[in-house]
Structure 1
Amino acid sequence: MTPDAVVVGSGPNGLAAAVTLARAGLRVQVFEAAPEPGGGSRTAELTLPGFHHDVCSAVHPMALASPFFRAFGLERRIDLRVPELSFGHPLDGGRAGLAWLDLDRTVDELGRDGRAYARLMRPLVAHDDEVTEFTGSTLVRVPRHPLVAARFGLKALEQGSPLWNARFRDDLAPAMLTGVAAHTIRPMPSLATGGAGLVLTMHAHARGWPIPVGGSGAIIGAMIDDLVAHGGEVVTDVAIDDLAALPAARAVVLDVTPRALARIAGRRLPDRYRGALERFRYGNAAAKVDFALSGPAPWANAALAGAGTLHLGGTRAEIAAGEREVARGRHPKSPYVLVSQPSIVDPTRAPEGKHTLWTYTHVPAGSTVDPTEAVVRQVERFAPGFRDLILASSSRSAMQMQDDNRNYIAGDIAAGAATMLQLVRRPVISPDPWRTPLSGIYLASSSTPPGPGVHGLAGWRAARSALRHTFGLTRLPSLAP
């Protein structure tokens, strides 16, 4: 096949670009360096036979909210299970903050902070589509819904500043919000962490945080099936280190980091643009542990048994202190641990009666430390007896995360530090940051807006730019099943 367009990288963004271009009637070829497609959205037997673990991403707050996935009809292509309890946040003594899909139930259970939590979240949940539209693209443009954007900005400023505790009296609601904001792997509070935390919490109450049956690989499988059905193909085990190694195509879409783009394009890039790529900063890291369990995790608070996701680390102050330690290049004594329990809604993940547990913790960039013991201790803190249920575990240090995925520089799964500046300049300040100065060359990774997450939006927007500027097509193709 002589392709019209080539995509490098088969993660969700690369495949979103490939699907969009193929649906426009173009011949599309995807190249993937790894033996299997999917990037961080793969599922594999990492511990014992019959236990299926997600290699990186596990829970997908954007799967039902992403404009790309909604256009693609993802929920009609795969089985997405939405836990009634989106996430839980245990504290010592058996207490826990519970973020139900039902916002009213969440508010009722938060006691005297319930009304304050409702005032913070209800306006966002009521306008989740508008907030998603504003935050799901480059911030260098006039928002389509300026009042909603302004309201969101004020709330993000509050939760991203020393005022973040002003509206609360107890510790549960602040801890819940901090556990979500910590997904950014940044010191808190900051405008970027406050904004990201509010968006993800909004999704928890608007459409939920779904878990795909069969694992995150099911999302990749659905996208590849659609690509192949429209004439495209995926070629694995082929690393691209120079544009000259690619077939002669009119458009090239790169699901790679700015560092990789600078290497692949070489001296073809203008000096100013190359300088911007080289100045792009990468953040701190995640280290991961997967567990095969003989039974469900024995949470001290029984309600947490139904949570698809949990945030461990204690109070707002404790988590913020731990994230500051990571930013200083240290491994916290009490680390933040993100937990997913996919087998509570997906029986295909483990043999009957058994369970899988997915975890990651935050560590300094480039860490080679095995995180297993630190994670087990933190889980044991809130689930006494957890250690006795472990049949097997599989861990990856930050540097092993990079070895598995070229885009995870030193273990940075966000493909670039999520600072406020780098959410605007990702990697350049432009209304079309997916388009590079080289004719027909586009950047489509999480290093472009809207940043990290399994949403396909960076690839979708890069493909739309390519359709307009390279192929002269202004009408978007249908992506519906």
Structure 2
Amino acid sequence: MQDEYDAIIVGAGINSLACAVHLGAKGWRVGIFEQAATPGGAVKTLELTEPGFRHDWAAMNLSLFAGSGFFKAHGADLVGRGLEFAPASNCFASVFDDGTWLGVSTGPGETRARIARFSEADAKAWDRLCAEFPGAAEYVFALLGNSMQMHVQGRLLAKALFRKGFAWTADLARLLVSSPRTWLTETFESPHVRATLAAWGMHLDFAPDMAGGAVFPYLESMASQNFGMVIGKGGADTAVKALLARIDAAGGEVHCGNRVARVLRNGSRATGIELADGTKIAAKRAVIANVAPSGLMRLLDGASGDAAFDAKMAKFSHAPGTMMIHLALDGLPDWTAGAELKSYAYVHIAPSLEQMARTYQQAVAGLLPDEPVLVVGQPTAIDPSRAPAGKHVLWVQVRMVPGVIRGDAAGAITGTDWASVKEIYADRAIGMIERHAPGFKAKILGRAVVSPLDLEADNPNLVGGDQVAGSHHLSQNFLFRPALGHATGNTPVEGLHITGASVWPGAGTGAGAGYMLARKLGGQ
């Protein structure tokens, strides 16, 4: 283990690895120190159930990574080191209690035709959104893909006003601050269409009535329609393996099983780190912490030297938790709503805005939701290489659930300890799938249930099982992620930077925070 690097990065998540790749390309020697046994953070692929069945631990969708500025800059190199995507043309769908379904695909006219079965007016609204999307996407993706600095975003605003005019720009701004329910009810009349798109808000922490959440259902539906989706060939860790290979080629090092205890300082400047075993490692140019704000304060022994900054970090709030269910299957679910659903990357069980809103409120209140939102990932429908021939894996996110259990909204589960409750609660979720796909339980060959606290134990950034590493509500997004004045990852300690999903532009596999920071430190 070297005792000095140009930069030290705490944590080996996707933002850390992207940051290290870009800094390495600029000639920096980078050392990454990770407390877990496996790098990748939420992007890991493991044999969790039966031999030969490869399960994505948390993140499955690599579309943000494939479409990122980082991939544009470094993608060719990563592909040369083994990165491979598996494309999905049937992206996501929802099943409903009345036996119907609705899905978004890339095929010409397919999605429109499905929407028209529910409402011709909604099909026309979909046509309008699709026609307008290229113009809107230019500005929305520029907003999400650039540093959250006033002069940068100011230039983007001026460009929109000059090219598109005030009314168009104001409409876009209204979309960015609207709740999913507001946008969806103004745009579509069918509750089935509204629910299908609203489910994407629940992938973050945007229940239907949360301001600022409309943009996520909008972007995911439009992007899926226009570009499709990608997952990793063989597992999401195809991205991690390629990133590690590039870091190694540049002379960087990744040390797993090494918990960082604190950031070392000389006066007001960060000079390195101290590991849990007492080993001290020097950083000549920067210490980069891919941690949640609470984790940053632990590394600083509770004080940065700036009381106002410390107070902001202490007030940083997390979204409700997530539970993961990984299943090895003898066959994909036989969805009663339609056999075509077997070809979709995701099938949501989230039948109405009301159910999603209720689930969210129950989780926030500390209750196990009586009917949680289920995100049923079918990766082997897209990439059969993840399981033995003829077999499948199922990736199920149970959203939302409380990190700390105070009770059960259904009144059936009396326990409050996740260690004893998780298998029982998994049975509830599996029962929901069974109702939409009779015979599903009989197909299960093996299962592994990961509670919110299991997620946090593996990755302390996921506080209470919060997979998005901090709420994205308006009070904690854009200029306020993680806090006003620190959206670029700067801290009061000279040479110390914070990155990761807790920093703008937030959660996902796009590696935006790590890449933006690396560009800033490395001179673009």
Same fold (TM over 0.5): yes
Aligned pair in 2 of structure 1 residues 404, 321: CA closer, same or farther (>3 Å)? same
CA distance in 1 between counterparts of 2:225 and 2:365 reads 34
Pair 1:182 & 2:184 matched? no
Match of 1:218 among 235, 238, 247: 238
Kindly state the Cα deviation for residue 117 of structure 1 after the two structures are TM-superposed. 2.5
What's the % identity of the aligned pairs?
Answer: 27
Aligned to 1:51: 53
Query: How far is 1:340 from its partner?
Result: 0.9
Cα distance in 1 between the residues matched to 2:472 and 2:493: 26
For the pair shown, which has the larger CA radius of gyration, 1 or 2? 2
d(CA) in 1 for partners of 2:108 and 2:490?
40
What secondary structure does 1:199 align onto?
Answer: helix
Question: C-alpha separation between the residues in 1 aligned to 2:185 and 2:135?
Answer: 23
1:16-56 C-alpha deviation (Å, 9 max, x unpaired): 11111111001111111111111110100000011000111
2:335 to 282, 299, 303: 299
AA in 2 matched with 1:273? F
Report the TM-score when normalising by structure 1: 0.92
Contact 1:293 1:391 in 2 (8 A): yes
Distance change >3 Å, CA 402–CA 277, structure 1 → 2: same
Letter in 1 for 2:513: A
| Between 126-135 and 90-99, the greater mean CA deviation after superposition | 126-135
* Aligned partner (choices 244, 247, 254) of residue 281 of structure 2: 247
Measure how far apart 1:162 and its partner are: 4.0
Mapped contact 1:97–1:172 kept (Cα < 8 A): yes
**2:299 paired with 1:264:** yes
Residue 433 of structure 1 corresponds to: 488
Alignment partner of 1:423 out of 462, 477, 482: 477
Alignment check: 8 A CA contact 2:327 2:395 kept: yes
Supply the AA of the counterpart residue of 1:134: L
Flag the 1:157–1:341 CA change in 2: closer, same or farther, 3 A: same
Deviations 1:282-312 (A, max 9, x none): 1111011000000121111111111011211
Aligned partner of 2:220 among 185, 200, 207: 200
Counterpart-to-counterpart distance in 2, 1:40 and 1:188: 25
Alpha-carbon distance, 1:5 to partner: 0.7
Question: Which of the residues 283, 292, 307 maps onto 2:319?
Answer: 283
Could you tell me how far apart the structure 1 residues matched to 2:458 and 2:498 are? Answer: 21
* One-letter amino acid of the counterpart of residue 248, structure 1: A
CA deviations on 1:148-197 (whole Å, 9 max, x unpaired) are 76443333455545463133222221011111111123432222221222
User: Match for residue 497 of structure 2?
Assistant: 442
* Separation in 2, partners of 1:103, 1:422: 38
Bigger Cα displacement from structure 2, 31-40 vs 245-254: 245-254
Match of 1:365 among 381, 390, 403: 403
* Residues 56-205 of structure 1 aligned to structure 2 (within 5 Å): 56-73=58-75, 76-77=79-80, 78-102=83-107, 104-111=109-116, 112=120, 113-139=122-148, 140=150, 141-142=153-154, 144=156, 145-146=159-160, 147=164, 150-157=170-177, 159-160=179-180, 162=182, 164-205=184-225
Output the CA distance in 2 between the equivalents of 1:321 and 1:118. 31
8 Å CA contact retained: 1:400, 1:411: yes
TM-score normalized by structure 2? 0.85
Question: Kindly tell me: are residues 327 and 431 of structure 1, through their superposed partners in 2, closer, same or farther at Cα, counting changes over 3 Å?
Answer: closer
- How much does 1:228 deviate? 0.8
- Counterpart of 2:409 in structure 1 is none
Whether the aligned pair in 1 keeps the contact of 2:304 and 2:492 (CA below 8 Å) is: no
**Farther off after superposition, 416-425 or 185-194:** 185-194
CA drift of 1:119 comes to 2.5
Measured in 2, the distance between the counterparts of 1:287 and 1:87 equals 20
Aligned to 2:8: 6
Distance 1:384 1:126 in 2: 44
Return the letter of the residue paired with 1:164: L
Distance 1:293 1:160 in 2: 34
Q: Are 1:356 and 2:393 an aligned pair?
A: yes
- Farther-moved stretch of structure 1 (180-189 vs 15-24): 180-189
Distance 1:269-1:129 versus aligned 2 partners, 3 A rule: farther
Give the residue type in structure 1 aligned to 2:75: G
1:452 counterpart residue number: 507
Change (3 A) 1:88 1:164: closer
Report deviation, 1:137: 4.0
Using the alignment, how far apart are the partners of 1:198 and 1:332 within structure 2?
26
What is aligned with 1:386?
440
Assess, with a 3 A threshold, how the Cα gap between structure 1 residues 233 and 357 changes in structure 2: closer, same or farther.
same
Aligned to 1:466: 521
Q: 2:469 aligns to what SS in structure 1?
A: coil
- Distance in 1, matches of 2:252 and 2:178, equals 46
1:105 Cα deviation after fit: 2.4
Asked if structure 2 preserves the Cα contact closer than 8 Å seen for 1:366 and 1:411, the reply is: no
SS at match of 2:62: coil
Q: CA deviation at 1:327?
A: 2.4
Rate the CA distance shift 1:67–1:212 in 2: closer, same or farther, 3 A: same
**137-146 or 445-454: bigger deviation:** 137-146
Say which SS state the counterpart of residue 132 (structure 1) adopts. Answer: helix
- Distance of aligned partners of 1:132 and 1:377 in 2 relative to their CA distance in 1, 3 Å threshold: same
RMSD: 2.0
Query: Within 1, Cα distance between the matches of 2:133 and 2:465?
Result: 32
Count of paired positions: 469
Q: Which segments of 5 or more consecutive residues in structure 1 lack a partner in the other structure?
A: 468-473, 477-481
List per-residue Cα deviations over 1:210-262 (Å, max 9, x = no partner): 11111111111111111111111101110012013152212011111110111
Structure 1 stretches of at least 4 aligned residues deviating more than 6 Å after TM superposition: none
Please tell me whether the aligned partners of residues 254 and 444 of structure 1 are also in contact (alpha carbons under 8 angstroms).
yes
Structure 2 letter corresponding to 1:279: K
For residues 155 and 353 of structure 1, what CA distance do their matches in structure 2 show? 44
SS across alignment from 2:300: helix
TM superposition shift of 1:92: 2.1
Mark the CA change 1:166 to 1:33 in structure 2 (over 3 Å): closer, same or farther. Answer: same
Cα distance in 2 for partners of 1:280, 1:314 equals: 31
